[in-house]
């Protein structure tokens, strides 16, 4: 894998005779796998230079991974020459927002007021992909995305190919203020950040400030060089490239801080440290690889209606905190429930929120409430419970069930972004089954049946009628799984003719290619918050069997549902398989 730096400066392009060596252009890094897959990490002003280079191999194509849409990470886009070349194909990936699409956001900086050429006038084919935390693949490169700590929803990226792991983490502020200034333990969210860096051959890390400067920069969303070294060392990273240099940091000052950090890193057996410089090129080859746990959640999942009708619980007593955090939540259309700290468990049980913010009242009440919520039956383990506290807690708070902390004072945008990340994560946990590996083939086989949107047919309806009677349930369905929806060819006892795939139980059975039984959906974290569980028809029991054609394509399911919890034994599962066989035969032999 080859890495080239085209922009290493943070915040604003800084050309000057004092920034000649490390460079003045803002964030942009080119990564190429040995097989030739091109990934561009961020498109700050450095992208203009990279774009001119890429014109040599026309028509250029590649993948652009944007960390977030602050100016210093996107300003090179209008000047990236390959976007103007007809026949050139580009995929742009960036964090999914709540209100504007990625395309709208990027088109904004190219409106007539700011730039003479609009985004839609560019000659290349540009495809936009919105991401949450998870995994995806571009060419032969496996990518993991993870939220960073910044006053705008920001993703860090880990790329793996050719036996090499690279992590790009700009812009990111330490969660722990003590850690930012070089003290304290790596715990909680900082520890999870370090795990994202685990064993990487190269970490490109935000290192805008020095520990001594941090006090004036709290909440600005950037790391200190001391923090970057501490997490990279903890992670066992082999090389650490400091980047996103402060615009005020001149070449000489960067030399000095690198020299100091190198001796510290040598003393503590840390990674090889250097400051990324514009024009610098690195060739990385496979080393002893470190197995890293990768999320199995697809980073490109459609969250769609994930937040609609969802609620957040503010268990707080101070009116100013309630109103400030309510404003942050309202911006994302989340329903807000307020209770005092002592009544938080009762409110959580009643309302099933997707996020709980608990005020630290200076005594043991918040910890007791958190533990009580964790003990509620059916509450998903991933429910984010966040302590809003005036002082940075020691340790990670796990023993009290806290998943994270919001340390005061915080700015409204900072609180809003943290809340968004918690909501996004919570939404991802339940929203959608992963997409099968053979999805395109599976979709083609489903469409080839020519049954989608056809009227009900007795040959299918008699099967669902029999299934409902056999299992003594009110609802039985024969479902076909399309790209974004589950469509019911036959529905006994249900008025709906389709549901979004995001909210589909059957999606899990299609992914697993195995029967799925949910004895009580309210006690299953995948489905407890599903709108068909919390609202009509009030599903509690589900048993589905995949419908697999002789060529191996799984096109849908037959399933039975009840509004009461129940069990199904092996004998029942065999009967369900019989029904699936009958339905598959009808699919195979039309009319
Ligand atoms: Zn930045
Ligand atoms: Zn930023």
DSSP assignment of 415-469 equals HHHHHHHHHHHHHHHHH-PPPPTTHHHHHHHHHHT--TTPPP-HHHHHHHHHHHH
Tell me what pLDDT residue 372 has.
Answer: 94
How far, in Å, from the CA of 158 to the mean position of ligand 2?
Answer: 18
Tell me what pLDDT residue 523 has.
Answer: 74
Write out the residues surrounding ion ligand 2, Cβ under 5 A.
Answer: 70, 171
| Bridge partners of residue 356, in order along the sequence | 313, 385
How far, in Å, from the CA of 70 to the mean position of ligand 2?
Answer: 5
Tell me what pLDDT residue 462 has.
Answer: 97
How far, in Å, from the CA of 411 to the mean position of ligand 1?
Answer: 18
Nearest ligand for residue 7 CA: 1
Separation of alpha carbons 30 and 16, rounded Å: 23
Cβ proximity of 464 and 499 under 8 Å? no
What are residue 5's phi and psi, to 5 degrees?
-95, 125
Q: How far from 243 is each of 27, 249, 344, 455, CA to CA, in Å?
A: 8, 11, 43, 60
Cβ proximity of 456 and 490 under 8 Å? yes
Tell me what pLDDT residue 503 has.
Answer: 82
- DSSP letter at 91 equals E
Averaged over 137-166, what is the pLDDT? 95
Tell me what pLDDT residue 287 has.
Answer: 78
Name every residue whose Cβ is closer than 8 Å to that of residue 260 and which is 6 or more positions away in sequence: none
Q: Which two tokens stand for residue 577?
A: 């398989």
The DSSP bridge pattern shows strands 239-243 and 272-275 to be parallel
What are residue 419's phi and psi, to 5 degrees?
-60, -40
Nearest ligand for residue 170 CA: 1
Buried b (16+ CB within 10 A) or exposed e, 325-353: bbebbeebebbbbebebeebbebbeebbb
Chain CA centroid to CA 419, Å? 14
Give pLDDT tens digits for 18-65: 999 999 999 999 999 999 999 999 999 999 999 999 998 767 899 999
Separation of alpha carbons 5 and 170, rounded Å: 14
Separation of alpha carbons 360 and 397, rounded Å: 12
**Res 159 pLDDT > 60:** yes
Nearest ligand for residue 26 CA: 1
Cβ proximity of 239 and 272 under 8 Å? yes
Best CA proximity match to 455, nearest among 416, 487, 411, 501? 487
Cα torsion through 96, 97, 98, 103, rounded to 10: -90
Using 50, 70 and 90 to split pLDDT, how confident is the model at 554?
A: very high
CA 553-559-561 angle, 5° bins: 155
Cβ proximity of 38 and 77 under 8 Å? no
How far, in Å, from the CA of 209 to the mean position of ligand 2?
Answer: 14
More confident residue, 71 or 308: 71
How far, in Å, from the CA of 422 to the mean position of ligand 1?
Answer: 22
Cβ proximity of 77 and 42 under 8 Å? no
As a residue count, the chain comes to 591
| Sign of the alpha-carbon torsion through 108, 111, 116, 118 | positive
89-98, 443-452, 471-480: lowest mean pLDDT where?
A: 89-98
**Res 430 pLDDT > 60:** no
How far, in Å, from the CA of 170 to the mean position of ligand 1?
Answer: 7
How far, in Å, from the CA of 84 to the mean position of ligand 2?
Answer: 26
Separation of alpha carbons 88 and 81, rounded Å: 10
- Judged on CB neighbours under 10 Å (0-12, 13-18, 19+), 377 is exposed
How far, in Å, from the CA of 67 to the mean position of ligand 1?
Answer: 9
How far, in Å, from the CA of 257 to the mean position of ligand 2?
Answer: 23
| Sign of the alpha-carbon torsion through 224, 227, 233, 236 | negative
Q: How far from 371 is each of 155, 189, 366, 396, CA to CA, in Å?
A: 30, 19, 9, 14
Tell me what pLDDT residue 502 has.
Answer: 77
How far, in Å, from the CA of 161 to the mean position of ligand 1?
Answer: 26
Give pLDDT tens digits for 208-243: 999 999 999 999 999 999 999 999 999 999 999 999
Q: What percent of the chain has pLDDT over 90?
A: 70
Q: How would DSSP label each residue in 288-333?
A: S--------SBTT---GGGGTT-EEEEE---HHHHHHHHHHHHTTT
Q: Which two tokens stand for residue 467?
A: 């299934």
How far, in Å, from the CA of 252 to the mean position of ligand 1?
Answer: 22
Farthest CA pair distance, the chain: 82
Q: What percent of the chain has pLDDT over 70?
A: 93
**Res 305 pLDDT > 50:** no
Give pLDDT tens digits for 473-506: 999 999 999 988 899 999 999 999 999 887 889 9
Rounded mean pLDDT of the chain? 91
- Judged on CB neighbours under 10 Å (0-12, 13-18, 19+), 94 is buried
Nearest ligand for residue 42 CA: 1
- DSSP letter at 245 equals B
Q: How far from 394 is each of 129, 289, 386, 397, CA to CA, in Å?
A: 39, 33, 15, 7
- Judged on CB neighbours under 10 Å (0-12, 13-18, 19+), 439 is middle
Separation of alpha carbons 49 and 7, rounded Å: 9
How far, in Å, from the CA of 185 to the mean position of ligand 1?
Answer: 26
Separation of alpha carbons 543 and 528, rounded Å: 16
How far, in Å, from the CA of 28 to the mean position of ligand 2?
Answer: 13
How far, in Å, from the CA of 538 to the mean position of ligand 1?
Answer: 46
**Res 350 pLDDT > 80:** yes
Nearest ligand for residue 220 CA: 2
Tell me what pLDDT residue 378 has.
Answer: 61
CA 446-451-453 angle, 5° bins: 110
**Res 294 pLDDT > 90:** no
Q: Which two tokens stand for residue 379?
A: 């509450």
More confident residue, 66 or 425: 66
How far, in Å, from the CA of 155 to the mean position of ligand 1?
Answer: 12
Tell me what pLDDT residue 98 has.
Answer: 67
Separation of alpha carbons 243 and 277, rounded Å: 8
Using 50, 70 and 90 to split pLDDT, how confident is the model at 290?
A: low
């Amino acid at each position: 894998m080859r890495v080239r730096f085209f922009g290493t400066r943070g915040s604003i392009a800084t050309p000057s005779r004092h920034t000649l060596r490390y460079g003045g252009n803002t964030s942009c890094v080119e990564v190429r796998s040995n097989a030739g897959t091109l990934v561009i990490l961020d498109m700050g002003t450095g992208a203009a230079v990279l774009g001119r280079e890429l014109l040599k191999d026309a028509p250029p194509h590649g993948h652009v991974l944007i960390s977030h849409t602050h100016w210093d990470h996107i300003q090179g886009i209008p000047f990236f020459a390959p976007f103007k070349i007809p026949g050139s194909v580009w995929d742009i990936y960036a964090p999914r927002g709540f209100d504007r699409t990625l395309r709208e956001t990027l088109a904004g900086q190219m409106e007539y007021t700011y730039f003479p050429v609009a985004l839609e006038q560019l000659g290349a084919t540009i495809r936009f992909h919105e991401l949450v935390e998870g995994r995806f693949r571009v060419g032969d490169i496996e990518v993991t995305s993870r939220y960073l700590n910044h006053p705008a929803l920001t993703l860090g990226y880990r790329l793996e190919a050719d036996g090499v792991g690279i992590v790009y983490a700009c812009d990111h502020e330490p969660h722990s203020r003590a850690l930012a200034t070089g003290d304290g333990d790596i715990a909680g969210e900082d520890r999870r950040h370090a795990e994202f860096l685990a064993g990487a051959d190269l970490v490109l890390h935000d290192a805008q400030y020095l520990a001594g400067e941090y006090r004036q920069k709290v909440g600005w969303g950037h790391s200190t060089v001391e923090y970057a070294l501490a997490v990279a060392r903890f992670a066992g990273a082999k090389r650490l490239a400091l980047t996103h240099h402060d615009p005020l940091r001149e070449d000489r000052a960067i030399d000095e801080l690198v020299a100091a950090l190198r001796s510290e890193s040598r003393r503590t057996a840390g990674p090889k440290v250097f400051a990324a410089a514009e024009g610098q090129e690195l060739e990385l080859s496979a080393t002893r690889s470190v197995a890293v746990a990768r999320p199995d959640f697809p980073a490109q999942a459609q969250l769609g209606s994930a937040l609609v009708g969802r609620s957040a619980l503010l268990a707080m007593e101070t009116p100013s905190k309630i109103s400030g955090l309510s404003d942050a939540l309202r911006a994302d259309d989340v329903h807000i429930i307020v209770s005092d700290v002592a009544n938080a468990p009762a409110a959580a049980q009643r309302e099933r929120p997707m996020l709980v913010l608990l005020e630290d009242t200076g005594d043991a009440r918040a910890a007791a409430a958190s533990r009580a919520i964790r003990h509620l039956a059916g509450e998903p383990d991933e429910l984010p419970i966040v302590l809003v506290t005036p002082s940075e807690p020691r340790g990670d708070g796990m023993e009290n069930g806290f998943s994270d902390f919001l340390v005061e004072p915080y700015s409204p945008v900072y609180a809003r972004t943290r809340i968004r990340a918690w909501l996004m994560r919570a939404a991802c946990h339940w929203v959608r089954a992963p997409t099968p590996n053979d999805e395109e083939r599976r979709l083609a086989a489903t469409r080839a049946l020519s049954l989608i949107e056809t009227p009900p047919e007795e040959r299918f309806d008699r099967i669902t009628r029999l299934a409902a009677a056999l299992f003594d349930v009110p609802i039985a369905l024969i479902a076909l799984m399309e790209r974004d929806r589950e469509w019911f060819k036959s529905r006994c006892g249900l008025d709906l003719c389709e549901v979004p795939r995001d909210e589909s139980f059957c999606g899990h059975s299609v992914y697993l290619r195995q029967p799925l039984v949910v004895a009580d959906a309210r006690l299953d974290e995948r489905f407890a918050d599903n709108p068909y569980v919390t609202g009509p028809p009030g599903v509690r029991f589900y048993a589905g069997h995949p419908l697999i054609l002789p060529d191996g394509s799984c096109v849908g399911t037959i399933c039975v549902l009840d509004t009461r919890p129940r069990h199904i034994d092996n004998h029942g599962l065999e009967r369900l398989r019989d029904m699936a066989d009958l339905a598959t035969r009808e699919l195979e032999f039309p009319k």
